[in-house]
Amino acid sequence: VEDNPANVLEGSVVLGDDGKGYLQMVTDLSLEPHGVVDASNYDGIEIDVLSREGFEFNIHLRSPSTDKSASTMRSYRHTVNLEVTFAWDTIRIPFSSFQDRDNASVDPSSLERIGIVATDKEMDINLAVGGVRFYNVI
């Protein structure tokens, strides 16, 4: 996209009878099947994005659950309000901004997946993601 390699999330969020709907793209962070990544030496996630529309979406991080009665993974999210820039933009999100449904913070020492999710609002999406990496504040 504009001479940069990228994955593109393109489609429409359509709400069902229950008022819910979503569109997402996800990837495992580890190169090993079912592996985890220790990002505890970093401050957060940095994502390069390009969109010709402003909209709100969530970035989800998933980690293994430590509660045996819970599902096998825990999801932590941060909401991004993307402005229209017509150019590549880098979004930095500190790990402390990711919360689960119980308002617990993510443990960056055990991360499995990252996802970009547009949810619960009807909208058309065209979002290019050109890079995902961990960062440190210097």
pLDDT tens-digit readout, 32-90: 988 999 999 999 999 999 988 888 999 999 998 655 455 557 899 999 998 877 789 99
Phi first, then psi: what are they for 122, rounded to 5°? Answer: -65, 125
pTM: 0.86
Beta strands in the chain (DSSP E): 7-13, 22-28, 44-50, 55-64, 73-82, 89-94, 113-119, 123-135
Nearest to 98 by CA among 76, 116, 114, 75: 76
pLDDT tens-digit readout, 90-104: 999 999 999 999 999
